[in-house]
Amino acid sequence: MIEVAPLRYGVIFKKVFSKPHIFTAFVKDMLGIEIEISKVETEKSFSPVIGNVDSRFDLFAQDKKNRFIVDIQYKRYKDHYDRFLHYHCAALLEQITSSANYKPDMQVYTIVVLTSGDKHKTDILVTDFSPKKLDGTCITETQHKIVYVCPKYVTDKTPEPYQEWLKAINDSLDNQVEENDYQNEIVQEIFSLIKKDKISPEEYARMKDEYSDEEYMQEQIQKAREEEVLLMAKNMKEAKVAIKTIAEVTGLSMEQIESL
Write out the DSSP string of 123-156: SEEEEE---B-TTS-B-TT---EEEEE-GGG--T
DSSP code per residue over 9-38: SHHHHHHHHTSHHHHHHHHHHHH------S
How many CB atoms are closer than 10 A to CB 192? 13
SS3 252: coil
Strands 2-3 and 176-177: antiparallel
Cα–chain center distance at 59: 11
Residue extents of the structural domains in the chain: 2-199, 214-258
From first to last of the 260 residues of the chain, give the pLDDT tens digit: 899 999 998 899 999 999 999 999 999 999 999 999 999 999 999 989 998 888 889 999 999 888 888 888 876 778 889 999 999 999 999 999 888 888 888 999 999 999 888 889 999 999 999 999 999 898 888 889 999 999 999 999 999 889 999 999 999 999 899 888 998 999 999 999 999 888 888 888 888 877 664 554 455 556 667 778 888 888 888 888 888 888 888 888 888 888 88
Region for residue 231 given its phi and psi (left: phi exceeds 0; alpha: psi -120 to 50; beta: otherwise): alpha
Q: Pick from 139, 43, 132, 142: which is nearest to 92 by CA? A: 142
Contact 14, 40 (CB under 8 A): no
SS3 5: coil
Strands, E, within 133-246: which ranges? 145-149, 176-177
Give me the residues paired with residue 3 across strands.
176
What's the chain's length in residues? 260
Give me the residues paired with residue 109 across strands.
68, 145
